[in-house]
Copies of this chain bind each other. A is one copy, B any other.
Amino acid sequence: MDARRRSLLEATLDCVAEHGMSGATARRVAERAGVTAGLIRHYFGSKEAMVSAAYGYLIGQLTNEAGESAEKGSEAPEQRLARFIVANVTAPNLSPRKVALWATFIGRVRTEPAYADIHRESYREFMALLETLIHPLLMGLKRPADPTTCQHYAIALNAVIDGLWLEGGLGHGLYDTALLPKIALSAAEGILALPSNTLMQHAAADSLSS
């Protein structure tokens, strides 16, 4: 991808994070990227097209990071799920800036089709990944693993992951975000009705030092 194009997208995200969506003006974004405003037209056609492209760019970062974390490690389903969950509630995915950006964009999903498309696609991808992590885990335990059961588990897991990611990123300072991996894994064990520590024991030690 073009370097200039990416620098404009990153400048857009910076502006949105600092001043809200209306703060990402053509002139300000261009100045931050070290160019003049006319280039936006050249690369994106319009300012609005640039901002929605920046949304897609952000979501791509988030899902790539989480997806890659599930790949690493052994083939044990427990370990893969544990790594995926922990990756979603620790840096770099757990970042105040990213949470704020996500929320700002999400606010437009309901009324603007360009944003709705990006959101639906990324959500579908996230759920599909979650279901491919849950299914082998249930099978290994000789438990029912029909699509409906897996989907319901995935919905609940997705919710608790998103919720903790949000709370942690908003950083109200009412508790230490270092607690999040433990809380997330424990909640996931409960939701999936797994024996205690089934997931916890597979998480990297450095993420869970008491």
A contact residues vs B (CB 8 Å cutoff): 17-22, 96-97, 99-101, 103-104, 106-111, 119-120, 123-124, 127, 151-152, 155-156, 158-164, 166-167, 170-175, 179, 183-184, 186-187, 190-193
Q: List 17 A-B contacts (CB under 8 A).
A: A17-B110, A17-B111, A21-B22, A96-B110, A99-B110, A103-B107, A106-B170, A110-B170, A119-B172, A120-B172, A123-B170, A123-B172, A159-B160, A159-B163, A159-B164, A159-B167, A160-B187
Closest residue of B by beta carbon distance from A22: B22
Copy number in the complex reads 2
Closest residue of B by beta carbon distance from A155: B183
CA distance A42 to B14 in the complex (A): 35
CA distance A72 to B179 in the complex (A): 33
Closest residue of B by beta carbon distance from A167: B159
CA distance A205 to B13 in the complex (A): 46
- Other-chain contact of A22, B20, B99, B161, B190 (Cβ < 8 Å): B20
B174 and A123 contacting across the interface, CB-CB below 8 Å: yes
- Other-chain contact of A107, B107, B124, B160, B184 (Cβ < 8 Å): B107
CA distance A180 to B123 in the complex (A): 17
CA distance A190 to B199 in the complex (A): 14
Chain B residues positioned under 8 Å from A159 (CB to CB): 159-164, 166-167, 183, 187
